[in-house]
């Protein structure tokens, strides 16, 4: 595998094995010179008598989903919180959501079908603020404005044909979210509300609480908040495909049986093979080794994926090595974690790496996102993935290295050596040609992403420690 050429001008003193490993890993930047990342900070946890922490109400009853100790399923990003509302709008009634723009990097409303496939996304910057308010997610906007209210109508209808998704649609606006019914009987509708990277010091809702449902009945009466829940039947049983949130175990065993015909660790490879997230059949074909169909659609094979994100992922197996090292160039993003006063810009709105368990489990182990990832003067990051027991002692932010854990029970279902590593890119700008969104076709990931492609290799704990000197004390 070809890595970024090593820069002699920045090369730490090393010889023999250390020098060879440095060259292999492409570590052109001494970690001590890496730009310091924002320290991780947990949000203020909303306490309640419920067994699962976090705010919820009778409309947003299913949530928040995130990493432990929250609802941990369908591969949530650990820096985000998701709430699901499942409901049925009565005949002749109209539903709208009223709220305040979150103090966060991103928020959105996305509708889904019964298979967990996204239908439409209305992201923060597309929402028109109410008169007298402003939208803090627009470039240059006042992120601290106290006047930040909006309203969004929810329609029981399919979105217009040809509607754009998954790209940065600067200058466009949406006043409606299309959430058509699915399932039997009266049918049900599903909407997920997401918040990414809330400002430090805010709670799970990023300081604004949950949006309020407002239901106008056919006779003109208006119901608000908890008054709407009975009419909307928000506690109705879910009508979901069994595979919407995870691959069923019988199917997972079938996939593993196919993979074992190729090698004891397939579909893991060294160096790692990255796969775009396409439709569900393309996910299954990762295990059979078949190329994805030419018409495979993006972001339909995940588990309630975000249309504003595009993903690539690789299967990691400790049988190939206890430590995986990944290097790549870091896209630029706005900086918001410290409550920055103005909304900035960048090549992406947000990006992150997540260590996940297997597709029959869909649990996230941990994630690290852009503003919390150390970046060297050359614009490159170094990420280490291992079990806690195998973590190199220099795989710490102070040494310019990000670290993610593998779970001790691996995929959480069958193989204790397997982890799924996922990279997500959100809302790439039109002039950024190396985002996941810009990949032309499967197999072109490295070519189209260029320096931003996550190149990796397996290594031992001790080899990484000698390859990456970390001098925190001046000597």
212 contacts: CB under 8 Å, gap ≥ 6: 97, 98, 99, 224, 225
At 243, the pLDDT band (50, 70, 90 cuts) reads confident
Average pLDDT over residues 283-312: 88
Q: How do the domains of the chain map onto residue ranges?
A: 8-33+247-302+308-467, 62-232
Examine the pLDDT at 19 and tell me if it is beyond 90.
no
Q: Specify which residues 366 forms β-bridges with.
A: 355
| DSSP class per residue in 174-208 | BSEEE---BSSTT-BEEEEEEEEEEPTT-BTTTTS
Examine the pLDDT at 35 and tell me if it is beyond 60.
no
Strands 176-178 vs 149-155: parallel, antiparallel or unpaired: parallel
Distance (Å, whole) CA 380 – CA 395: 15
The DSSP H or E segment spanning 24 is: helix 17-25
CB 120 within 8 A of CB 163: yes
Examine the pLDDT at 16 and tell me if it is beyond 80.
no
Torsion angle defined by CA atoms of residues 349, 189, 77 and 365, in that order, rounded to the nearest 10 degrees: -170
Distance (Å, whole) CA 369 – CA 123: 19
At 37, the pLDDT band (50, 70, 90 cuts) reads low
Examine the pLDDT at 42 and tell me if it is beyond 60.
no
| DSSP class per residue in 252-277 | HHHHHHHHHTT-SSTT--SSPPPEE-
CB 95 within 8 A of CB 223: no
Distance (Å, whole) CA 101 – CA 104: 8
Question: Among 358-372, 424-438, 449-463, which stretch is predicted with the lowest mean pLDDT?
Answer: 424-438
Examine the pLDDT at 203 and tell me if it is beyond 80.
yes
At 219, the pLDDT band (50, 70, 90 cuts) reads very high
Nearest to 406 by CA among 396, 391, 392: 391
Q: Looking at the whole model, is its pTM more than 0.85?
A: yes
CB 198 within 8 A of CB 104: yes
More confident residue, 29 or 437: 437
């Amino acid at each position: 595998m070809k890595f970024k050429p090593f820069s002699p001008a920045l090369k730490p003193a090393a010889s023999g094995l250390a020098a060879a490993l440095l060259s292999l890993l492409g570590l052109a930047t001494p970690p001590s010179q890496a730009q310091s990342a924002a320290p991780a900070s947990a949000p203020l946890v909303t306490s309640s008598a419920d067994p699962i922490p976090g705010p919820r109400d009778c409309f947003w009853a299913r949530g928040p989903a995130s990493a432990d100790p929250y609802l941990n399923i369908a591969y949530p990003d650990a820096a985000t919180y998701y709430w699901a509302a499942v409901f049925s709008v009565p005949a002749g009634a109209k539903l709208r959501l009223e709220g305040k723009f979150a103090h966060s990097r991103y928020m959105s409303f996305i509708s889904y079908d019964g298979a967990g496939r996204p239908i439409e996304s209305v992201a923060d910057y597309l929402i028109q603020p109410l008169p007298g308010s402003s939208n803090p997610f627009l470039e240059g906007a006042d992120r601290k404005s106290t006047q930040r209210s909006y309203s969004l109508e929810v329609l029981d209808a399919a979105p217009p044909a040809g509607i754009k998704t998954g790209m940065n649609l600067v200058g466009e606006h949406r006043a409606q979210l299309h959430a058509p019914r699915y399932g039997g009987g009266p049918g049900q509708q599903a909407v997920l509300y997401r918040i990414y990277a809330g400002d430090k010091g805010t709670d799970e809702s990023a300081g604004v609480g949950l949006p309020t449902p407002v239901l106008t009945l056919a006779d003109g009466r208006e119901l608000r908040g908890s008054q709407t829940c009975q009419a909307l039947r928000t506690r109705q049983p879910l009508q979901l495909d069994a595979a919407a949130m995870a691959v069923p175990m019988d199917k997972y065993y079938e996939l593993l049986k196919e993979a074992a015909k190729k090698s004891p660790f397939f579909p893991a490879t060294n160096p790692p093979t990255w796969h775009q997230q396409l439709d569900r059949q393309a996910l299954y074909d990762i295990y059979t080794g078949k190329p994805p169909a030419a018409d495979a659609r993006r972001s339909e094979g995940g588990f309630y994926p975000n249309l504003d994100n595009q993903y690539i992922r690789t299967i990691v197996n400790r049988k190939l090595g206890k430590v995986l090292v990944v290097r790549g160039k870091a896209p630029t993003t706005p900086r918001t974690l410290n409550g920055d006063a103005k909304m900035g810009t960048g090549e992406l709105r947000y990006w992150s790496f997540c260590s996940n368990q297997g597709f029959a489990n869909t649990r996230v182990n941990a994630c690290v996102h852009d503003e919390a990832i150390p970046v060297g003067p050359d614009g490159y990051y170094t990420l280490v993935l291992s079990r806690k027991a195998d973590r190199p002692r220099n795989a710490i932010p102070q040494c310019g290295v990000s670290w993610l854990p593998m779970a001790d029970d691996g995929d959480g279902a069958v193989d204790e050596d397997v982890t799924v590593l996922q990279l997500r890119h959100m809302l790439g700008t039109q002039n950024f040609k190396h985002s996941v969104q810009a990949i032309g076709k499967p197999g072109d990931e490295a070519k189209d992403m260029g320096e931003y492609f996550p190149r990796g290799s397996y290594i031992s704990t001790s080899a990484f420690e000698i390859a990456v000197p970390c001098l925190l004390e001046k000597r």
